[in-house]
Chain A
Amino acid sequence: MINVKGLKKAFGENVVLCGIDEHIKKGEKVVIIGASGSGKSTFLRCLNLLEQPTAGNIFFEDVDITDPKNDINRLRRKMGMVFQQFNLFPHMTVKENLKLAPVKLKIMTEEEAEEKALALLARVGLPEKADAYPTQLSGGQQQRIAIARALAMNPDVMLFDEPTSALDPEMVGEVLAIMRELADEGMTMVVVTHEMGFAREVATRVLFMDEGVIAEQGTPEEIFDNPQSPRLKAFLGKVL
């Protein structure tokens, strides 16, 4: 589904990704772990071109998204993204947040989007918040709405960029529960996270990133129970 070839990214002199090749298949739940500064967020953000790669190609459903001839806006419709800081639109109600993109991009009529929005709000357990404004919600609730907003576009893959890092500890669980449900339904997911429990439980594959490359990868059992490289051992020693 997503095929990454020779991906490099540098911010000026600062090289963040130094050549990544990776293939993410439909239905996979890929969890990316690594120390901060290892390039995991940058890698994720390159997948929907929020960061422009310095070199390399990324194919999404066999279309090269790094080719300027291909319409990235159209491709992004099929790639949902959830941010660390939620990034809900504060001037709109929750329902309007969900309906904006489907309606403005003429994918759904107003009525269809309304129906979809209410269904998604029920699914993330917040049907009563349809007419609330984002600032009236807790962090956990906001992040659940953000997930619902991404789902409103019926994406083929969901990208999560540290979705629980900005949350109070007691709200982490509710967000992870939604993500777990999503995984169970067969959604293709790429998740950058520090939640090792979630990685172990949900991931079909774990990538360990270090200094701009994928240093080690494997099933959760291989990564957590039988780490090979000293860097991964050191990292796990610190976080577990």
Chain B
Amino acid sequence: MNILTFAKWIEEAPNWILALPEGLQRLCFQFFQVFVYENRWKFFTDGLGTTFIVTIGALIIGVIIGMLVAIIRSTHDSARRRPNIILRILNGICKIYVTVLRGTPLMVQLLIMGFVVMVPKGNFETVLCAIITLGINSGAYVAEIARSGIMSISAGQMEAGRSLGLNYSQTMAYIIMPQAFKNILPALGNELIALLKETSLVTVIALQDVTKAAQVIVSKSYTATIPYISLAIIYLVLVIILTKLLGILERRLRESDKR
């Protein structure tokens, strides 16, 4: 592998760079090395694609699992009589799920899924493994968030729905969940932001996400500053954009609160 040295690069550099002081010249050299040389920026964009796919996939799985667990848990807890055996078993499973997933580090969960349970081969399987692991992990947090949302809705809403002849699931779907969702949106947004950042851990199962991309570039360019600072800025920009989008969604849902 031929290594690009500063001396070699400066020979072919355009005039405006030669006019700069040496410190800035070296900085430009680093930028060139990290992004331009051998089209290395493509590592970042490819990695970003993976980061997006993993985040969105894990989000969908997490929300589905979380909502289901929250509904089971709150149905169990709000039952006035002793709940039936199936509900009690489901509730037990949900409790164990939340305890285990919140009680072990995500990195350890990734290592177990990646090297013990799924052992993915090839890129597609690795992406799938990451999505499933992060989704299951996120589901445990979403479950508790969603449960707090469901419990924040007054019992009168359920009674009103039932008194009109709607059954339990219809009342949940049309009356309780839409209101609960609105209440938990800020907390859910927080979880989404955490999820986006936690995808950086998928490097431990050798997935080429944007963090891995930065590591690869460091190993190729023998410089750490620019790749890692850039990586931080990429995450920061993504989170800021997400925060803005969530704010817009929140305002839309608050429509009915206008007085």
**A contact residues vs B (CB 8 Å cutoff):** 48, 50, 52, 73-74, 76-77, 79-81, 83, 85, 87-93, 100-101, 104-105, 133, 135-136, 149-150, 153
Contacts and interface: CB of A to CB of B under 8 A. Distances in A.
A150 B156 contact: no
A73 B162 CA distance: 7
A88 B157 CA distance: 7
Contacts of A100: 164, 166, 174-175
Given A52-B80, A89-B157, A91-B179, A76 B258 contact: no
B173 to A, nearest CB: 9
Given A91-B182, A101-B165, A104-B174, A83 B159 contact: yes
Interface of B: 80-81, 154, 156-157, 159-167, 170, 174-175, 178-179, 182, 255-259
A48 B166 contact: no
Given A52-B80, A52-B81, A92 B256 contact: yes
Nearest to B173: A104
Given A50-B162, A91-B178, A133-B258, 14 more contacts: A52-B81, A77-B164, A81-B159, A83-B156, A83-B163, A85-B154, A87-B159, A89-B160, A89-B175, A100-B164, A101-B161, A101-B166, A105-B165, A135-B259
B191 to A, nearest CB: 22
B43 to A, nearest CB: 46
Contacts of A87: 154, 156-157, 159-160
Contacts of A89: 157, 160-161, 175, 179
A90 B179 contact: yes
B75 to A, nearest CB: 16
B257 to A, nearest CB: 6
Q: Is the interface of B mostly helix, strand, loop or mixed?
A: helix
26 contacts: A48-B163, A52-B80, A73-B166, A74-B165, A76-B162, A77-B165, A81-B159, A81-B160, A81-B163, A83-B160, A85-B156, A87-B154, A89-B157, A89-B160, A91-B179, A92-B256, A100-B164, A100-B174, A105-B166, A133-B257, A135-B257, A135-B258, A135-B259, A136-B259, A150-B163, A153-B165
B243 to A, nearest CB: 24
A39 B32 CA distance: 81
Contacts of A88: 160
B163 A79 contact: yes
B256 A73 contact: no
A133 B255 CA distance: 9
Contacts of A80: 163
Contacts of A105: 165-166
Contacts of A85: 154, 156
A87 B161 CA distance: 9
Contacts of B160: 81, 83, 87-89
Chain A interface helix/strand/loop/mixed = loop
B69 to A, nearest CB: 23
B168 to A, nearest CB: 9
A74 B174 CA distance: 18
A150 B164 CA distance: 7
A104 B170 contact: yes
Query: Which 6 interchain pairs have the tightest Cβ spacing?
Result: A77-B165, A87-B160, A101-B164, A81-B163, A87-B156, A133-B256
Contacts of B165: 73-74, 76-77, 101, 105, 153
Contacts of A135: 256-259
Nearest to A136: B259
Contacts of A52: 80-81
A89 B163 CA distance: 13
A50 B164 contact: no
B175 to A, nearest CB: 6
A32 to B, nearest CB: 17
A89 B170 CA distance: 14
A239 B157 CA distance: 31
A19 B20 CA distance: 97
A149 B164 CA distance: 9
Contacts of B256: 90-93, 133, 135
A214 to B, nearest CB: 23
A149 to B, nearest CB: 7
A47 B162 CA distance: 13
Contacts of A79: 163
Contact of B159 (A50, A91, A93, A136): A50
